[in-house]
Amino acid sequence: MEIVCPVHNNGDDIQKISAIVKAGISSGSYSGPSGGLFQAGGQTGVYGGYTTLGGGSSTKLADAFANPMPSERSLGLPVILIVISGYLILKGRDPYDVFAHALCMEPIGIIGVLVGIVVFVNTFLHTQTLPTKLEEWERKKKILERLYYCHRDDIVFDPESKQSSLPDDWQNVFTS
């Protein structure tokens, strides 16, 4: 399958985003020739200049490539935090434990339990939605790997879905 730009219908002046991002990481931005001939209404003209997949867009793309795979999180850590904090509350409530009072163990324990509950619920919800998140991550990764940039039209496009977008809004290609 020959890959062509969906705007100028040609394979010239296009480049794989993954290659640009790699080049951009070393140089900060990538620019390429965008000059050429155009024909409109029987007239031929010349357009020139460079389009640049500039800092902002290439950084966002590089970030998207670096986006780590969603992974499992342990429910054990918040449970341990809740148990230890519960112990601190009990110690802090002991009227004979002057040491525990001096160290404010009860309020610290209460904060610990609350934080532990929030982390537990958050981790639990993450675990429940993990398969969906993984699927979405893989879908985007696949699209990202096949994206192209057209230097002539300054657009990012997906050769498979033919979806194209301005570099700054390149995430639109995911919605197709």
Binding site for Zn ion (CB under 5 A): 5, 7-8, 150, 152-153
Sign, Cα dihedral of 4, 32, 56, 27: positive
CB of 40 to Zn ion, least distance (A): 15
Closer residue to Zn ion (CB): 88 or 150: 150
Read off the amino acid at residue 119: V
Cβ-contact 111, 124 below 8 angstroms: no
- Torsion angle (degrees, nearest 10) of CA 133, 138, 141, 142: -150
CB of 51 to Zn ion, least distance (A): 10
Token pair 């995911």 is found at 174
Distance (Å, whole) CA 105 – CA 92: 5
Closer residue to Zn ion (CB): 47 or 124: 47
CB of 120 to Zn ion, least distance (A): 51
Closer residue to Zn ion (CB): 47 or 87: 47
Residue with the CB atom nearest Zn ion in the bound state:
5
Closer residue to Zn ion (CB): 49 or 76: 49
